[in-house]
Structure 1
């Protein structure tokens, strides 16, 4: 055997269960970490506890007497006479195949320090802020390091203790019967949740978690060119992990507020300007609002409704690239729907001068008026 548990407890191989218990209690009183906290004594205490766990359990003791050490490392069969080790019996392979785990020493205690949760925060921005970038204060609830225990989770003056149920291994062993015989399996220790240590005196501020909930405010730089739905990752700025673990991430989701004038399509901006019929016919100079301020544009004479004027480089900035999109202005020509007598007379005179007082009307091919369609239908039926 790599370790003789009878020798560790100082009992004979035919010792009774009560003799094993008495030997363990005597050694535990001498070696307990509360009495002798030095590392050497703690290792000795772990060995004694492992020995007692094996020899106090009839099934584990029987397997140990057959040459199987339940707490041996990978390949954990012993080398005693008649033991599985001499025969080259693949004990751990069988355990892995049927129970999904190996001997106890293969996994060990779980890491109690885990990464914190990532946070998703929605941030509302105006069109100009998304176009040119901005620095914003973002407020959100999160988990931060407990100042009282600095992430340890223990009360002042106390420390984590080795779990007495699993002796710090984070797992407990069980013997299961199968068609192969008795097979050792392991599961996380229910007392320490697989961590190997327990908190007897938790921190009063964080209740042993090592972190507390707070609402924090962070300054965040929003790059130019983001748009509605863009997500910005801030690595390592999220919640701190349990027991002082590393932080998660923050994911900022951009929500762009609607603009009263402009509609954004990619990096281009679109808007509509209404002009009177006379300005469209004669031409005019218009003052147009842009993200950079007001600009003067010339409306050429004879502009029709639906005409688009493009201002290059007046859109939003490209994200992670130089340059900007364009501003596209659609002209909507308004026809007056209410005229006084003088205006009507002048307009009729204007129509007469242009020969438009009796307009014939223009129809696209295949789209005649109602009477022409009726005539064609009548002639076709003859």
Structure 2
């Protein structure tokens, strides 16, 4: 069963960012592995609340989730966009990043022996992708070239020329943070700051890698496959987790954020999952009936205009619109019939229409569609 992120955190769907953060902190402290003696159930709950917080704290992810549910994050397609449930290391890393620097926090968990500070994350990368109506209807996979910071192959991302040239930082003892305790009227206060000697990494390099000069990254080109599910809209975006720039010295990579640019198709108007197509029909075809070929995102479609069709009539073809991003169900193609009259008449056409005018009965009632067509006909024929 798919979890509801709002229910997981115990907040309403209109909860503020501050309410979401408070709810997450309370639940994360309740289910933190250090407080539950290795309980697997508590570990799973800790990961669940961390995953919910990761989505709801991000305005873009939250908007996508509110609009499309999990499909807005996964894309409703195999493999999704790189979105996956949190593992324990990710959940712990996020918790310590957001709340780990609070004074006296370690004592809450009965220790003070925290692990090394989380390594710096790589930058997110934003790209734009243009899509045609057919791409939206069928979904598509695009390959794009990115020139980004990637892991240095020479040192395997460590930044060191050899393993022997890396040692624990003597200033922080390999923790990556420096703590200072001082007494106050309210008791002991503990301040935690990033170690100035190792910049929070916990290690120092005596002999940097000659290729990356100690950063663990080099700029290189790569090819990324972007899977676009059917039914995306202009306000959608895709997030490919871990496809951004590499982090320095084996830090976690950033994300690839794909902004979708939808090309306008002059043949159609889009309204959600439905499409509108304007079909121009001659007066004689509307009166006698005719068969037409109309375009759809899935190929041409035959459609019958029955005899006596009035201008403004809408003929619908269910299942010929665009697929819904969540359900995959296709919308409707609405064919809007527009009856036109010729602007200029040949002598032969004028004679035919004059004969027709004498054979026709009373015109339709005032303000009807047919009445408006009748008036246009009279004006065109000089009647």
User: What TM-score comes out, normalization by structure 2 length?
Assistant: 0.59
Higher relative contact order (CA 8 A, sep 6+): 2
Deviation of 1:156 after TM superposition, in Å, equals 4.0
Deviations 1:50-106 (A, max 9, x none): xxxxxxxxxxxxxxxxxxxxxxxxxxxxxxxxxxxxxxxxxxxxxxxxx94699994
What SS class does the counterpart of residue 323 from structure 2 fall into? coil
What SS class does the counterpart of residue 342 from structure 1 fall into? helix
Q: Name which of 317, 323, 343 aligns with 1:317.
A: 323
Distance 1:343 1:362 in 2: 27
- State the match for 2:366 in structure 1: 362
- State the match for 1:303 in structure 2: 309
5+ residue gaps, structure 2: 1-101, 369-383
Q: CA RMSD in A?
A: 3.4
Aligned residue pair count: 264
Q: Rate the CA distance shift 1:344–1:248 in 2: closer, same or farther, 3 A.
A: same
Q: Is the 8 A contact 2:230 2:328 kept in 1?
A: no
Residue 134, structure 1, aligned to residue 175, structure 2: no
Distance 1:127 1:268 in 2: 12
What SS class does the counterpart of residue 300 from structure 2 fall into? strand
Deviation of 1:238 after TM superposition, in Å, equals 2.8
- State the match for 2:371 in structure 1: none
User: What TM-score comes out, normalization by structure 1 length?
Assistant: 0.59
Distance 1:241 1:329 in 2: 53
Distance 2:240 2:144 in 1: 12
Highest Rg: 1 or 2?
A: 1
Q: Is the 8 A contact 2:160 2:205 kept in 1?
A: yes
Distance 1:336 1:257 in 2: 33
Q: Is the 8 A contact 1:103 1:185 kept in 2?
A: no
Distance 1:181 1:310 in 2: 75
Deviation of 1:191 after TM superposition, in Å, equals 2.3
Deviation of 1:324 after TM superposition, in Å, equals 1.7
- State the match for 1:244 in structure 2: 250
- State the match for 1:90 in structure 2: none
Residue 144, structure 1, aligned to residue 153, structure 2: no
Residue 260, structure 1, aligned to residue 286, structure 2: no
Residue 192, structure 1, aligned to residue 198, structure 2: yes
Deviations 1:159-184 (A, max 9, x none): 22343545546455778797899999
5+ residue gaps, structure 1: 1-98, 365-382
Q: Name which of 333, 342, 350 aligns with 2:339.
A: 333
Deviation of 1:361 after TM superposition, in Å, equals 8.2
Distance 2:178 2:243 in 1: 37
Distance 1:175 1:360 in 2: 92
Q: Which aligned runs of 4 or more in structure 1 are off by greater than 6 angstroms? A: 102-105, 173-186
